[in-house]
Amino acid sequence: MRVFKFGGASVKDAAAVANVASVLKKFAGEKIIVVVSAMGKTTNGLEKVVQSYYYKKCDTQKALEEVKRFHLNIMNLLFRDTDHSVYREVNNFFVEADWVIEEEQNHGYNFTYDQIVSLGELISTKIVSAYLNDEGIKCKWIDVRDCIRTDNTYREGKVLWDESLALAEQNLKPLFNEYNIILTQGFIGGTSENYTTTLGREGSDYTAAILAHLMDATDVTIWKDVSGVLNADPKFYKDAQKLEQLSYLDAIELAYYGATVIHPKTIKPLENKNISLYVKSFVNADAAGTVIKTNVQTKPLIPSFIFKTNQVLISISAKDFSFISEDNLSNIFGAFAKAGVKINLTQNSAISFSVCVDDDEFKIPALIEQLQKDYKVLYNKELQLHTVRHYYPSTIESITAGKEILVEQRSRHTAQFVLRDIFK
Ligand code: ASP
Ligand code: MG
């Protein structure tokens, strides 16, 4: 049994959905779990709904209407029959969103976020599964919340592996007696109280890995709009090259430093069961792509570049010019953990401790306010974080040219720079 994952870009419009069908036709007769993300930028659209509901920023109904219209347009192209049951099924999910936003706010932001944002995947899978069945590709839609159990850490659900295994054995495995293709949602899980959680943005890759782990799949394929794992983001580096193969270790390092090609949590469940991961192009499904597996030397051994914009460098020092001690550090890390801010890089000197993080209009001001209670806090915004794995001196020169270096760190394999454009 294999696991395929189709991300938002692979189902962004009617033509893309039709393309998913043509990819799947190449694998007729194979047993496949197909994991699908929300269509196109739906998750961002639903995030807007939650934000406007919660912070009364703009018209919540209007934000939701936009998401509805986007899906309706796609459905109108895919399903000629206006009585098709898919219209009712999709509408039922939108009704759930209506209920939430008509209610008074009596849950936390993260809880509300998960109940609304998860609808993107539920809706997309209903549409894709109806289309595939119409096209003669028989498949069974299942609700992944019946297979992946998480704790109630909303927006970052932690998988409860033993319970999920029991659920998958019971609710997923037997279906393969009747179906070759089981189609389900990425990104979401369910708690023991039947509430919905999400696994973190871009979490559908992780879902594919979880299901592969639970079901002992032979391999996982992530179908993308690029030819495989590239050594750099082609948006920023015109000479980006495809890597033919990667070790789990290199893949996890690249993902950890911010390469967006695979979600960082994806590798561990696969590595633990030695399941290979293919990254392939959904526009050129027969091409080799990249394979990530155990014990391979990443080939070719060329530098990989990871470029993150919108970074903030926060420098924290004691108010009385004393050293940053271990006690301070534990207090500081605690504040980051509590604010849910992930640390991209740290650097310390005698009296200050600097941390580079992704900017976030809500989390960062709250974190800074918290830190300012005990420390002197300075910060710089609009910075870039460059990470180079397998670097050479010349690669570093090309990255830092024309930039001011605020922080520089090098280990044997990896160099990192926090940079700012000089002519700004
Ligand atoms: N739809 C979710 C997101 O955009 C999950 C995913 O695409 O992997 O974050
Ligand atoms: Mg996505």
The response to whether residue 40 sits with its C-beta less than 6 Å from ligand 1 reads no
Query: What residues are neighbours of ligand 2 (ion), with CB under 5 Å?
Result: 8, 37
Q: Which residues contact 29 (CB under 8 A, 6 or more apart)?
A: 180
* Residue 304: pLDDT band with limits 50, 70, 90: confident
Atom of ligand 1 nearest to the CA of 8: 7
Determine the residue of 204, 260, 262 to mutate for testing ligand 1's pocket, defined as the one with the most ligand atoms within 8 A of the Cβ atom: 204
- State in Å: Cα 401 to ligand 2 middle: 33
Best CA proximity match to 304, nearest among 401, 391, 378: 391
Give the residue, by CA position, lying nearest to ligand 1 atom 8: 202
Q: What is the CATH number of the domain that holds 383?
A: 3.30.2130.10
Examine the domain organization and report whether 313 and 213 are in the same domain. no
Q: Which ligand is nearest to the CA of 35?
A: 1
Tell the residue nearest (CA) to atom 7 of ligand 1. Answer: 202
Q: pLDDT band for 309, please (50, 70, 90 cuts).
A: very high
The helix/strand/coil state of 330 is: helix
Residues in the chain, how many? 424
* Judgement on whether residues 309 and 213 belong to the same structural domain of the protein: no
| Structural contact between residues 379 and 315, judged by C-beta atoms closer than 8 angstroms | yes
Which of 157, 183, 217 lies at the terminal end of a domain, its last residue?
217
Residue 298 reports pLDDT greater than 80: no
Per-range mean pLDDT, top range of 56-70, 85-99, 254-268: 85-99
Distance from C-alpha of 121 to C-alpha of 272, rounded to nearest angstrom: 27
**Average pLDDT of the residues in 382-408:** 88
The answer as to whether 248 is a domain residue is no
Verify that 37 and 181 share a domain, yes or no.
Answer: yes
Same domain (yes/no): 200, 309: no
Tokens of 67: 């998401």
Whether residues 213 and 309 share a domain: the answer is no
392: confidence class by pLDDT, cuts 50, 70, 90:
confident
pLDDT at 424 over 60: no
Most ligand 1 atoms within 8 A of CB, residue of 11, 12, 202, 223 to mutate: 202
**Overall number of domains in the chain:** 2
Atom of ligand 1 nearest to the CA of 203: 8
Contact yes or no for 53/106 (Cβ under 8 A): no
Assess whether the C-beta atom of 45 lies below 6 angstroms from ligand 1.
Answer: no
What is d(CA 363, CA 358) in angstroms, rounded to the nearest whole number? 10
In terms of domains, do 192 and 313 share one? no
Do 347 and 208 fall within a single domain? no
Q: What is the CATH number of the domain that holds 139?
A: 3.40.1160.10
Of 217, 232, 263, the one marking the end of a domain is: 217
Q: Which domain holds residue 387?
A: 304-421
Task: Classify strands 352-358 and 304-318 as parallel, antiparallel or unpaired.
Answer: antiparallel
Q: Report residue 257's pLDDT band, with 50, 70 and 90 as the boundaries.
A: confident
Q: Does residue 274 form part of some domain?
A: no
pLDDT given for residue 301 in this prediction: 64
What ligand is nearest to the CA atom of residue 124?
1
Whether residue 174 sits in one domain with residue 32 = yes
pLDDT of residue 270 exceeding 80, the answer is yes
Q: Give the integer Cα–Cα distance in Å for 147 and 348.
A: 44
Higher pLDDT pick, 205 / 395:
205
Q: Are residues 177 and 31 in the same domain?
A: yes
How far, in Å, is the centroid of ligand 1 from the Cα of 200?
8
Q: Does 236 reside within a domain?
A: no
Could you give the percent of the chain with pLDDT greater than 90? 75
Chain segment 18-34, per-residue pLDDT in tens:
999 999 999 999 999 99
Residue 28 lies in a domain: yes
Tokens of 398: 């090309």
299 pLDDT tier (thresholds 50, 70, 90): low
Is 118 inside any structural domain?
yes
Ligand 1 proximity of 202 Cβ (cutoff 6 Å): yes
Task: Report the percent of the chain where pLDDT is more than 70.
Answer: 98
Distance 319 CA to ligand 1 centre (A): 41
Q: Given 197, 217, 237, which residue is the final one in a domain? A: 217
Instruction: Give the mean pLDDT of 303-322.
Output: 90
Which atom from ligand 1 is nearest to the alpha carbon of 44?
4
Does residue 368 fall inside a structural domain? yes
Instruction: Return the ligand 1 atom nearest residue 204 CA.
Output: 8
Q: Closest Cα partner for 68 from 114, 120, 10?
A: 120
Kindly report the pTM of this predicted structure.
0.85
Residue 225 within any structural domain of the chain: no
From the CA of 327, how far away is ligand 1's center (Å)? 38
Q: What digits encode the pLDDT tens for the residues 181-219?
A: 999 999 999 999 999 999 999 999 999 999 999 999 999
From ligand 2's centre to the CA of 53, what distance in Å?
22
Considering only residues 391 and 375, tell me which one the structure prediction assigns the higher pLDDT: 375
State the ligand closest to the CA atom of 187: 1
Mean pLDDT of the chain: 93
Residue 86 located in a structural domain = yes
Q: How far apart are CA 229 and CA 251, in angstroms?
A: 9
